[in-house]
Chains A and B, each alone.
Chain A
Amino acid sequence: MVREIENAAGIPVVQIATIVPIMLTVGANRIVPGVAIPHPVGDPSLGPEGDRKVRRALLERALRAIQTPIKEQTVFKS
Protein backbone atom coordinates (compact mmCIF):
# COMPACT_ATOMS: atom_id res chain seq x y z
CA MET A 1 0.00 0.00 0.00
CA VAL A 2 2.75 2.44 1.00
CA ARG A 3 4.72 1.83 -2.19
CA GLU A 4 1.70 2.13 -4.47
CA ILE A 5 0.52 5.39 -2.85
CA GLU A 6 3.96 6.92 -3.39
CA ASN A 7 4.04 5.59 -6.94
CA ALA A 8 0.56 6.78 -7.91
CA ALA A 9 0.69 10.16 -6.20
CA GLY A 10 4.37 10.95 -6.77
CA ILE A 11 4.62 12.34 -3.23
CA PRO A 12 6.73 11.16 -0.28
CA VAL A 13 5.09 8.59 1.99
CA VAL A 14 6.66 7.85 5.36
CA GLN A 15 5.70 4.60 7.05
CA ILE A 16 5.73 4.24 10.82
CA ALA A 17 5.56 0.61 12.01
CA THR A 18 7.52 -1.72 14.22
CA ILE A 19 8.95 -4.56 12.11
CA VAL A 20 11.49 -2.74 9.93
CA PRO A 21 12.39 -5.76 7.72
CA ILE A 22 8.76 -6.01 6.55
CA MET A 23 8.69 -2.32 5.61
CA LEU A 24 11.89 -2.82 3.62
CA THR A 25 10.39 -5.85 1.88
CA VAL A 26 7.17 -4.13 0.84
CA GLY A 27 9.20 -1.29 -0.66
CA ALA A 28 8.64 1.61 1.73
CA ASN A 29 11.21 4.32 0.98
CA ARG A 30 11.00 6.43 4.12
CA ILE A 31 10.77 4.36 7.30
CA VAL A 32 10.38 5.39 10.95
CA PRO A 33 10.53 2.51 13.46
CA GLY A 34 7.47 2.59 15.76
CA VAL A 35 7.09 1.81 19.47
CA ALA A 36 5.31 -1.56 19.43
CA ILE A 37 3.08 -3.58 17.14
CA PRO A 38 -0.25 -2.81 18.93
CA HIS A 39 0.62 0.88 19.46
CA PRO A 40 3.14 2.05 16.84
CA VAL A 41 2.77 5.76 17.61
CA GLY A 42 2.29 5.80 21.36
CA ASP A 43 3.44 4.26 24.60
CA PRO A 44 0.53 3.82 27.03
CA SER A 45 2.90 2.56 29.74
CA LEU A 46 4.25 6.12 30.11
CA GLY A 47 0.85 7.61 31.07
CA PRO A 48 -1.14 10.08 28.94
CA GLU A 49 1.52 12.78 28.97
CA GLY A 50 4.47 10.50 28.18
CA ASP A 51 2.41 8.71 25.54
CA ARG A 52 1.72 11.99 23.76
CA LYS A 53 5.37 13.01 23.97
CA VAL A 54 6.47 9.78 22.30
CA ARG A 55 3.87 10.28 19.57
CA ARG A 56 4.99 13.86 18.98
CA ALA A 57 8.64 12.84 18.71
CA LEU A 58 7.85 10.10 16.18
CA LEU A 59 5.70 12.42 14.08
CA GLU A 60 8.37 15.12 14.12
CA ARG A 61 10.80 12.50 12.86
CA ALA A 62 8.29 11.48 10.17
CA LEU A 63 7.96 15.11 9.07
CA ARG A 64 11.74 15.34 8.89
CA ALA A 65 11.75 12.17 6.76
CA ILE A 66 9.37 13.62 4.17
CA GLN A 67 11.60 16.72 3.87
CA THR A 68 14.80 14.71 3.46
CA PRO A 69 16.08 13.97 -0.07
CA ILE A 70 16.93 10.25 -0.35
CA LYS A 71 18.20 8.03 -3.14
CA GLU A 72 17.25 4.66 -1.64
CA GLN A 73 15.18 3.10 1.15
CA THR A 74 16.11 4.89 4.35
CA VAL A 75 15.38 4.06 7.98
CA PHE A 76 15.18 7.21 10.11
CA LYS A 77 16.40 5.80 13.41
CA SER A 78 16.68 9.09 15.23
Chain B
Amino acid sequence: MPKRVVCYINQFFAGLGGEEQAHVPPSSRAEAVGPAMQIQNILVGEAEVVGTVICGDSYYGEHLDEARAACVELIAGFRPDILIAGPAFNAGRYGVACGDICGAVTETLGIPSVTGMYPENPGVELYRKKTYMVPTADSARGMKDALAAVSSLAMKILSGADLGAAEDEGYISRGIRKNFFHETNGARRAVDMLLSKIKGKPFRTEYEMPVFKRITPAEPVKDLKKATIALVSSGGIVPKGNPDHIRVSSAESYGVYDISNIDDLTPENFESIHGGYDRVWANEDPDSVLPLDVMREMEKEGVFGKLYKYVFTTTGTGTAVANAERFGQEIGERLKKEGVDAVILTST
Protein backbone atom coordinates (compact mmCIF):
# COMPACT_ATOMS: atom_id res chain seq x y z
CA MET B 1 0.00 0.00 0.00
CA PRO B 2 1.45 3.42 -0.84
CA LYS B 3 2.46 5.55 2.11
CA ARG B 4 0.13 8.39 3.07
CA VAL B 5 1.54 11.90 2.84
CA VAL B 6 -0.07 15.11 4.12
CA CYS B 7 1.28 18.47 2.98
CA TYR B 8 1.14 21.79 4.83
CA ILE B 9 1.19 25.01 2.79
CA ASN B 10 0.29 28.67 3.31
CA GLN B 11 -2.53 30.74 1.79
CA PHE B 12 -0.31 31.98 -1.03
CA PHE B 13 0.77 28.59 -2.33
CA ALA B 14 -2.81 27.34 -1.91
CA GLY B 15 -3.92 30.02 -4.36
CA LEU B 16 -6.14 31.77 -1.81
CA GLY B 17 -4.30 35.09 -2.15
CA GLY B 18 -1.33 37.06 -0.91
CA GLU B 19 -0.95 39.24 2.16
CA GLU B 20 -4.63 40.25 2.06
CA GLN B 21 -5.49 36.60 2.83
CA ALA B 22 -2.67 35.96 5.32
CA HIS B 23 -5.19 36.09 8.19
CA VAL B 24 -7.15 32.98 7.07
CA PRO B 25 -7.46 30.23 9.72
CA PRO B 26 -6.54 26.59 9.07
CA SER B 27 -8.50 24.51 6.57
CA SER B 28 -7.89 21.27 4.72
CA ARG B 29 -8.59 19.61 1.39
CA ALA B 30 -8.55 15.87 0.71
CA GLU B 31 -6.24 16.29 -2.27
CA ALA B 32 -2.85 17.66 -3.28
CA VAL B 33 -2.91 21.46 -3.63
CA GLY B 34 -0.24 23.77 -5.13
CA PRO B 35 3.31 22.49 -4.48
CA ALA B 36 1.77 19.32 -3.03
CA MET B 37 0.68 18.43 -6.58
CA GLN B 38 4.31 18.49 -7.68
CA ILE B 39 5.28 16.41 -4.65
CA GLN B 40 2.58 13.93 -5.70
CA ASN B 41 4.13 13.75 -9.18
CA ILE B 42 7.58 13.05 -7.76
CA LEU B 43 6.31 10.40 -5.33
CA VAL B 44 3.89 8.70 -7.72
CA GLY B 45 3.76 4.95 -7.20
CA GLU B 46 5.55 5.14 -3.85
CA ALA B 47 3.39 7.46 -1.81
CA GLU B 48 0.13 9.34 -2.12
CA VAL B 49 -0.65 12.88 -1.01
CA VAL B 50 -3.96 12.24 0.77
CA GLY B 51 -4.55 15.77 2.00
CA THR B 52 -3.30 19.33 2.16
CA VAL B 53 -3.64 21.54 5.24
CA ILE B 54 -3.62 25.27 4.58
CA CYS B 55 -3.20 28.20 6.97
CA GLY B 56 -2.59 31.92 6.53
CA ASP B 57 0.92 32.97 7.58
CA SER B 58 -0.21 35.85 9.79
CA TYR B 59 -2.89 33.68 11.39
CA TYR B 60 -0.31 31.07 12.32
CA GLY B 61 2.19 33.63 13.58
CA GLU B 62 -0.33 35.56 15.64
CA HIS B 63 -2.17 32.54 17.11
CA LEU B 64 0.61 29.97 17.49
CA ASP B 65 -1.19 27.76 20.00
CA GLU B 66 -4.60 27.77 18.33
CA ALA B 67 -3.19 27.35 14.82
CA ARG B 68 -0.92 24.50 15.89
CA ALA B 69 -3.76 22.63 17.65
CA ALA B 70 -6.17 23.07 14.72
CA CYS B 71 -3.60 22.03 12.11
CA VAL B 72 -2.50 18.95 14.09
CA GLU B 73 -6.14 17.87 14.29
CA LEU B 74 -6.72 18.37 10.56
CA ILE B 75 -3.50 16.51 9.75
CA ALA B 76 -4.33 13.63 12.13
CA GLY B 77 -7.69 13.24 10.35
CA PHE B 78 -5.87 12.09 7.21
CA ARG B 79 -3.98 9.34 9.13
CA PRO B 80 -0.67 10.20 7.41
CA ASP B 81 2.65 8.37 7.58
CA ILE B 82 4.57 11.62 7.13
CA LEU B 83 4.05 15.40 6.97
CA ILE B 84 5.77 17.53 4.35
CA ALA B 85 5.55 21.29 5.01
CA GLY B 86 6.45 24.17 2.72
CA PRO B 87 9.00 24.73 1.29
CA ALA B 88 9.09 28.16 2.91
CA PHE B 89 12.25 29.59 1.27
CA ASN B 90 13.13 32.86 3.08
CA ALA B 91 9.57 33.75 4.16
CA GLY B 92 9.89 34.26 7.91
CA ARG B 93 6.34 33.67 9.09
CA TYR B 94 5.89 30.74 6.71
CA GLY B 95 9.18 29.23 7.91
CA VAL B 96 8.08 29.52 11.53
CA ALA B 97 4.71 27.94 10.67
CA CYS B 98 6.33 25.05 8.76
CA GLY B 99 8.86 24.37 11.52
CA ASP B 100 6.26 24.66 14.25
CA ILE B 101 3.69 22.35 12.65
CA CYS B 102 6.38 19.79 11.76
CA GLY B 103 7.71 19.77 15.31
CA ALA B 104 4.21 19.48 16.77
CA VAL B 105 3.11 16.68 14.43
CA THR B 106 6.24 14.63 15.08
CA GLU B 107 5.85 15.13 18.81
CA THR B 108 2.11 14.53 19.17
CA LEU B 109 1.31 12.12 16.31
CA GLY B 110 4.63 10.28 16.42
CA ILE B 111 5.18 10.46 12.66
CA PRO B 112 8.18 11.94 10.88
CA SER B 113 8.05 15.37 9.23
CA VAL B 114 10.10 17.13 6.59
CA THR B 115 10.24 20.76 5.54
CA GLY B 116 12.51 22.98 3.49
CA MET B 117 13.66 26.55 3.91
CA TYR B 118 16.52 28.98 3.34
CA PRO B 119 19.25 28.57 5.99
CA GLU B 120 18.74 32.15 7.24
CA ASN B 121 14.99 31.71 7.73
CA PRO B 122 14.26 32.28 11.45
CA GLY B 123 12.30 28.99 11.39
CA VAL B 124 15.60 27.10 11.06
CA GLU B 125 17.12 28.15 14.35
CA LEU B 126 13.79 27.71 16.14
CA TYR B 127 12.79 24.27 14.91
CA ARG B 128 15.73 22.46 13.26
CA LYS B 129 16.07 20.14 16.23
CA LYS B 130 12.44 19.04 16.04
CA THR B 131 12.12 18.04 12.38
CA TYR B 132 14.06 17.38 9.20
CA MET B 133 14.81 20.53 7.21
CA VAL B 134 16.26 20.66 3.74
CA PRO B 135 18.16 23.85 2.88
CA THR B 136 16.55 25.64 -0.09
CA ALA B 137 17.10 28.77 -2.17
CA ASP B 138 15.81 32.05 -0.75
CA SER B 139 12.85 32.32 -3.12
CA ALA B 140 10.35 30.17 -4.99
CA ARG B 141 12.68 30.31 -7.98
CA GLY B 142 14.29 27.34 -6.27
CA MET B 143 10.98 25.44 -6.03
CA LYS B 144 11.91 22.56 -8.32
CA ASP B 145 15.13 21.66 -6.49
CA ALA B 146 13.50 22.18 -3.09
CA LEU B 147 10.60 19.83 -3.88
CA ALA B 148 12.97 17.19 -5.25
CA ALA B 149 15.07 17.41 -2.07
CA VAL B 150 12.19 17.26 0.44
CA SER B 151 10.53 14.43 -1.49
CA SER B 152 13.66 12.34 -1.67
CA LEU B 153 14.44 12.84 2.03
CA ALA B 154 10.81 12.00 2.88
CA MET B 155 11.00 8.76 0.87
CA LYS B 156 14.25 7.78 2.52
CA ILE B 157 12.72 8.32 5.96
CA LEU B 158 9.55 6.39 4.99
CA SER B 159 11.65 3.50 3.68
CA GLY B 160 12.91 3.01 7.21
CA ALA B 161 16.54 3.24 6.13
CA ASP B 162 19.01 4.60 8.67
CA LEU B 163 19.77 8.26 8.07
CA GLY B 164 23.41 9.28 8.08
CA ALA B 165 24.94 12.58 9.13
CA ALA B 166 22.98 15.70 8.22
CA GLU B 167 25.67 16.91 5.84
CA ASP B 168 25.72 13.60 3.95
CA GLU B 169 21.94 13.27 3.72
CA GLY B 170 21.35 16.88 2.72
CA TYR B 171 19.36 18.17 5.68
CA ILE B 172 20.15 20.88 8.22
CA SER B 173 21.92 19.62 11.33
CA ARG B 174 19.54 18.74 14.16
CA GLY B 175 22.28 18.83 16.74
CA ILE B 176 21.99 15.08 17.34
CA ARG B 177 25.11 12.94 17.84
CA LYS B 178 25.01 9.24 17.13
CA ASN B 179 27.49 6.86 18.69
CA PHE B 180 29.22 4.37 16.40
CA PHE B 181 32.55 2.57 16.18
CA HIS B 182 35.00 4.33 13.91
CA GLU B 183 37.89 2.43 12.34
CA THR B 184 40.40 4.92 13.73
CA ASN B 185 40.47 6.10 17.31
CA GLY B 186 39.78 9.62 18.53
CA ALA B 187 43.40 10.63 19.04
CA ARG B 188 44.28 9.63 15.50
CA ARG B 189 41.28 11.50 14.05
CA ALA B 190 42.04 14.63 16.08
CA VAL B 191 45.67 14.65 14.89
CA ASP B 192 44.52 14.13 11.30
CA MET B 193 42.18 17.09 11.61
CA LEU B 194 44.94 19.24 13.10
CA LEU B 195 47.31 18.30 10.28
CA SER B 196 44.66 19.15 7.71
CA LYS B 197 44.07 22.47 9.40
CA ILE B 198 47.80 23.28 9.42
CA LYS B 199 48.03 22.41 5.71
CA GLY B 200 45.01 24.57 4.98
CA LYS B 201 43.05 21.55 3.81
CA PRO B 202 39.33 21.07 4.52
CA PHE B 203 38.30 19.04 7.55
CA ARG B 204 35.06 18.38 9.34
CA THR B 205 34.74 18.80 13.09
CA GLU B 206 33.05 16.02 15.03
CA TYR B 207 31.74 18.42 17.61
CA GLU B 208 30.17 21.62 16.34
CA MET B 209 30.32 24.51 18.75
CA PRO B 210 26.93 26.23 19.12
CA VAL B 211 26.76 29.80 17.87
CA PHE B 212 24.90 31.91 20.39
CA LYS B 213 24.31 35.40 19.22
CA ARG B 214 23.41 36.80 22.58
CA ILE B 215 24.62 39.95 24.24
CA THR B 216 24.49 41.05 27.85
CA PRO B 217 21.46 43.30 28.36
CA ALA B 218 22.37 46.97 28.53
CA GLU B 219 21.91 48.86 31.79
CA PRO B 220 18.42 50.35 32.13
CA VAL B 221 17.64 54.03 31.72
CA LYS B 222 18.00 55.72 35.11
CA ASP B 223 16.13 58.96 34.63
CA LEU B 224 13.40 58.70 32.03
CA LYS B 225 12.50 62.38 32.45
CA LYS B 226 15.88 63.33 31.03
CA ALA B 227 16.23 60.50 28.52
CA THR B 228 16.42 60.92 24.74
CA ILE B 229 14.65 58.07 22.99
CA ALA B 230 14.97 57.05 19.35
CA LEU B 231 12.42 55.24 17.19
CA VAL B 232 13.65 52.54 14.82
CA SER B 233 11.52 50.21 12.71
CA SER B 234 11.89 47.33 10.30
CA GLY B 235 8.24 47.77 9.33
CA GLY B 236 8.95 49.63 6.09
CA ILE B 237 7.45 53.01 7.07
CA VAL B 238 9.04 55.72 4.89
CA PRO B 239 8.21 59.25 3.69
CA LYS B 240 5.66 59.10 0.90
CA GLY B 241 7.33 58.17 -2.37
CA ASN B 242 10.18 56.23 -0.69
CA PRO B 243 12.83 58.88 -1.46
CA ASP B 244 15.78 56.58 -0.71
CA HIS B 245 14.42 53.71 -2.80
CA ILE B 246 14.61 51.22 0.05
CA ARG B 247 13.80 47.80 -1.36
CA VAL B 248 10.40 46.32 -0.51
CA SER B 249 12.13 43.09 0.51
CA SER B 250 15.72 41.86 0.89
CA ALA B 251 16.64 45.41 1.89
CA GLU B 252 20.24 46.49 1.45
CA SER B 253 19.80 49.91 3.01
CA TYR B 254 17.87 51.87 5.62
CA GLY B 255 16.53 55.41 5.69
CA VAL B 256 17.20 58.20 8.21
CA TYR B 257 14.34 60.69 8.40
CA ASP B 258 14.03 63.98 10.26
CA ILE B 259 10.78 63.94 12.21
CA SER B 260 11.46 67.02 14.34
CA ASN B 261 8.58 68.91 12.68
CA ILE B 262 6.14 66.01 12.52
CA ASP B 263 3.68 65.13 15.29
CA ASP B 264 1.62 62.51 13.50
CA LEU B 265 2.19 60.09 10.62
CA THR B 266 -0.64 60.22 8.09
CA PRO B 267 -1.34 58.75 4.66
CA GLU B 268 -0.31 62.16 3.28
CA ASN B 269 3.22 62.23 4.68
CA PHE B 270 4.31 58.62 5.21
CA GLU B 271 3.54 55.16 3.81
CA SER B 272 4.54 51.53 4.13
CA ILE B 273 6.62 49.92 1.39
CA HIS B 274 7.13 46.62 3.22
CA GLY B 275 6.64 43.61 0.93
CA GLY B 276 5.97 41.09 3.68
CA TYR B 277 2.62 42.01 5.24
CA ASP B 278 -0.75 43.46 4.23
CA ARG B 279 -0.11 47.22 4.15
CA VAL B 280 -3.78 48.33 4.34
CA TRP B 281 -3.65 49.38 8.02
CA ALA B 282 -0.12 50.76 7.94
CA ASN B 283 -1.05 52.98 4.99
CA GLU B 284 -4.22 54.20 6.70
CA ASP B 285 -2.23 55.09 9.80
CA PRO B 286 1.55 54.57 9.69
CA ASP B 287 1.60 55.21 13.47
CA SER B 288 0.29 51.68 13.93
CA VAL B 289 3.77 50.49 12.88
CA LEU B 290 5.99 53.49 13.71
CA PRO B 291 4.27 55.06 16.75
CA LEU B 292 5.27 58.68 16.33
CA ASP B 293 1.95 60.26 17.39
CA VAL B 294 1.85 58.76 20.88
CA MET B 295 5.60 59.19 21.41
CA ARG B 296 5.18 62.88 20.63
CA GLU B 297 2.20 63.07 23.01
CA MET B 298 4.21 61.49 25.83
CA GLU B 299 7.17 63.75 25.09
CA LYS B 300 4.91 66.80 25.44
CA GLU B 301 3.48 65.45 28.69
CA GLY B 302 7.02 65.08 30.01
CA VAL B 303 6.81 61.29 30.42
CA PHE B 304 10.31 61.11 28.98
CA GLY B 305 12.88 63.75 28.07
CA LYS B 306 13.10 64.02 24.30
CA LEU B 307 12.32 62.12 21.14
CA TYR B 308 15.46 61.87 18.99
CA LYS B 309 15.03 63.98 15.86
CA TYR B 310 15.57 61.18 13.36
CA VAL B 311 13.83 57.85 12.83
CA PHE B 312 15.61 54.92 11.19
CA THR B 313 13.57 52.56 9.03
CA THR B 314 14.05 49.62 6.71
CA THR B 315 12.06 46.63 5.50
CA GLY B 316 12.67 43.48 7.47
CA THR B 317 11.54 40.78 5.06
CA GLY B 318 13.97 38.46 3.36
CA THR B 319 16.72 40.79 4.58
CA ALA B 320 20.08 39.08 4.78
CA VAL B 321 21.23 38.66 8.37
CA ALA B 322 24.57 40.26 7.51
CA ASN B 323 22.79 43.38 6.20
CA ALA B 324 20.50 43.60 9.23
CA GLU B 325 23.54 43.35 11.51
CA ARG B 326 25.35 46.06 9.58
CA PHE B 327 22.30 48.38 9.79
CA GLY B 328 22.21 47.76 13.54
CA GLN B 329 25.93 48.48 14.01
CA GLU B 330 25.77 51.72 12.01
CA ILE B 331 22.60 52.93 13.72
CA GLY B 332 23.96 51.97 17.14
CA GLU B 333 27.22 53.87 16.62
CA ARG B 334 25.36 56.95 15.47
CA LEU B 335 22.96 56.86 18.44
CA LYS B 336 25.88 56.51 20.83
CA LYS B 337 27.62 59.52 19.32
CA GLU B 338 24.41 61.54 19.56
CA GLY B 339 23.89 60.69 23.23
CA VAL B 340 20.63 58.79 22.76
CA ASP B 341 19.67 56.86 25.92
CA ALA B 342 17.32 54.16 24.65
CA VAL B 343 15.61 52.80 21.55
CA ILE B 344 12.11 51.55 20.82
CA LEU B 345 12.28 49.30 17.76
CA THR B 346 9.09 48.05 16.13
CA SER B 347 8.93 45.11 13.73
CA THR B 348 6.16 43.56 11.68
CA distance A74 to B291 in the complex (A): 22
Interchain nearest-CB distance for A27 vs B (Å): 5
Of the residues B92, B122, B285, B329, contact of A44 by C-beta under 8 Å: B285
B58 to chain A: which residues have CB within 8 Å? 36-38
Is A10 a contact partner of B218 (Cβ separation < 8 A)?
Answer: yes
Q: A36-B58, A51-B288 are in contact. Are A13 and B218 (CB under 8 A)?
A: yes
Q: How many A-B residue pairs have CB under 8 A?
A: 219
Encode contact with A along B273-298: 1 for CB under 8 Å, 0 otherwise: 00001111110110111110111011
Are A52 and B220 in touch, CB under 8 angstroms? Answer: no
- Distance A9 CA – B343 CA, assembled complex (angstroms): 10
**In the bound complex, how far is the Cα of B333 from the Cα of A30, in angstroms?**
19
Inter-chain contact B336/A8, CB cutoff 8 Å: yes
Cross-chain contact B220 with A27 (CB below 8 angstroms): no
Across the interface, do A67 and B221 meet the contact criterion of CB distance under 8 Å?
A: yes
A66 near B221: Cβ-Cβ < 8 Å: yes
Q: B326: which A residues are within 8 A, CB to CB?
A: 4
Contact A10–B336 (Cβ < 8 Å): yes
Having A22-B92, A37-B62, A56-B294, one finds 11 other A-B pairs with CB under 8 Å, namely A3-B328, A6-B217, A16-B347, A27-B213, A37-B58, A38-B281, A52-B293, A56-B297, A59-B295, A60-B303, A63-B304
Q: Which residues of B contact A52 (CB under 8 A)?
A: 293-294
Q: Which residues of B contact A40 (CB under 8 A)?
A: 235, 288-289, 346-348
> By CB atoms of chain A within 10 A, which of B62, B330, B335, B347 has the most?
B347
Which of A3, A19, A55 is most buried by chain B, counting CB atoms within 10 A of its CB? Answer: A19
Contact assessment for B298 and A59 in the assembled complex, using a CB-CB cutoff below 8 Å: yes
B342 near A: Cβ within 8 Å?
yes
Q: Can you list 23 A-B contacts (CB < 8 A)?
A: A3-B325, A4-B326, A4-B328, A7-B332, A8-B336, A9-B331, A9-B340, A12-B220, A16-B344, A21-B126, A27-B214, A34-B346, A37-B22, A37-B58, A38-B280, A39-B281, A40-B288, A41-B289, A60-B303, A63-B224, A66-B229, A70-B217, A71-B217
- Tell me the B301-348 residues at the A interface (CB within 8 Å): 303-304, 314, 316, 324-333, 335-336, 340-348
Chain B minimum-CB-distance residue to A39: B288
| Docked-complex contact A12 and B215, CB < 8 angstroms | no
* Pairwise interchain contact A68-B220, C-beta atoms closer than 8 A: yes
Q: Does A75 make an interface contact (CB < 8 A)? A: no
- With a cutoff of 8 Å between Cβ atoms, the chain B residues found around residue A69 in the complex are 219-220
CB distance from B231 to the nearest CB of A (A): 10
Does A49 sit within 8 A of B, measured CB to CB?
no
B93 contacts across to A, CB distance below 8 A: 19, 37
Q: A4-B325, A8-B329, A66-B220 are in contact. Are A13 and B342 (CB under 8 A)?
A: yes
List the B side residues contacting A18 at CB < 8 Å.
61-62, 348
Chain B residues with Cβ below 8 Å from A21 are 64, 96, 122, 126
Give the CA-CA distance A71 to B268 in the complex, in Å.
43
Q: Is the CB of B224 within 8 A of A4?
A: no
- B115 interface hit (Cβ, 8 Å): no
Is B215 a contact of A41 with CB atoms below 8 Å? no
B332 neighbours in A (Cβ, 8 Å): 4-9
B258 lies within 8 A of chain A by Cβ: no
Nearest residue (CB) in B for A8 is: B332
- Chain B nearest CB from A25 CB (Å) reads 5
Interface flag for B136 (CB, 8 Å):
no
Residue of A nearest to B232 (CB): A5
Chain A CB within 8 A of B125 CB: yes
Q: Give the complex CA separation of A7 and B220 in angstroms.
A: 14
Residues of B close to A25: CB separation below 8 A: 122, 125-126
The distance in angstroms between the C-alpha atoms of A12 and B328, with both chains bound, is 13
Check B234 for interface membership: any CB of A closer than 8 A: yes
Residues facing B in A46-67 (CB within 8 A) are 51-52, 55-56, 58-60, 62-63, 66-67
Shortest C-beta distance, A1 to chain B (Å), equals: 4
Across the two chains, which residue of chain A brings its CB closest to B228? A11
